[in-house]
Amino acid sequence: MYKSLAIVSILAASISAAPVQSTHAKRQVAYVQYNGDGSAADGWPTVDQWQSWDQLWSINSPLMAQSCGWNGWGTDNSAQETSDVGSAIQSVAGQNGLDERFVLAIVMQESKGCVRVPTTNNGIANPGLMQSHDGSGTCAGVDPCPTSEIYQMVTDGTAGTPSGDGLVQTVASTGESGAQGMYAGARKYNSGSVDLQDLGQSFGSTASYASDVANRVMGWAG
């Protein structure tokens, strides 16, 4: 989340990549660098080009199951915890009118789905699966992570907190619709600001963030 810009950039850069162990691994795609305003005219994928929820879940859930250990964040997710992450994403996204695939992409971008991801802090605490703006949901150092806390982490990042915006607010604030609005909203979620003509403008945060999210909904899982 953007209120911890330097730390989030470091965290995102430090997240380890590993082979996806999935029967649907063939659905993974190579990374494409997207530039411009997030529109189809600038070459960004439209919603109807995204992989399905089932395909994206089959690619990403094996990563979630091992990401805590890969990154030194504690005990790996249990099968129940990973299942709860998926259920929470689908439920909270639906309640807030967002595409569940978009929320999944942000979860993977921010925490690789590790329920015990540490809280980053650069003046504002950014806890949980979506590194929310001073949210209440976190399982850093907690094992097992309660279902209620997993839902809270996803709610904080999606619907926002009393202290700051979630995806609902950042997407709405762009004035854009469809995939373009979500890519622009992702940019603002990460950096706190967005240049609607250039989603690679990082404002001191992760320059590739919007492009990464676009690749994740297409099946990239690096």
Residue 1 has pLDDT above 70, yes or no: no
CA gap 111, 71 in Å, rounded: 10
Q: At 152, list the tokens.
A: 């809270």
CA gap 18, 37 in Å, rounded: 30
Residue 145, domain CATH: 1.10.530
Domain containing 174 equals 2-12+27-218
206, exposed or middle or buried, with CB in 10 Å at 0-12, 13-18, 19+?
Answer: buried
Is residue 151 assigned to a domain? yes
pTM: 0.89
Encode burial over 101-125: b for 16+ CB neighbours within 10 A, e otherwise. bbbbbbbbbbbbbbbbbbbbeeebb
Is residue 20 assigned to a domain? no
* Residue 128 and residue 157 in contact, taking contact as beta carbons nearer than 8 Å: yes
Is residue 184 assigned to a domain? yes
CA gap 25, 221 in Å, rounded: 10
Q: Which of 211, 189, 192 minimizes the C-alpha distance to 200?
A: 211
Higher pLDDT: 21 or 61? It is 61
**pLDDT tens track for 51-74:** 999 999 999 999 999 999 999 999
**pLDDT tens track for 149-200:** 999 999 999 999 999 999 999 999 999 999 999 999 999 999 999 999 999 9
Is residue 143 assigned to a domain? yes
Is residue 18 assigned to a domain? no
Q: What is the mean pLDDT of the chain?
A: 90
Q: Which residue has the tokens 């001191």?
A: 204
Is residue 182 assigned to a domain? yes
What domain count does the chain have?
Answer: 1
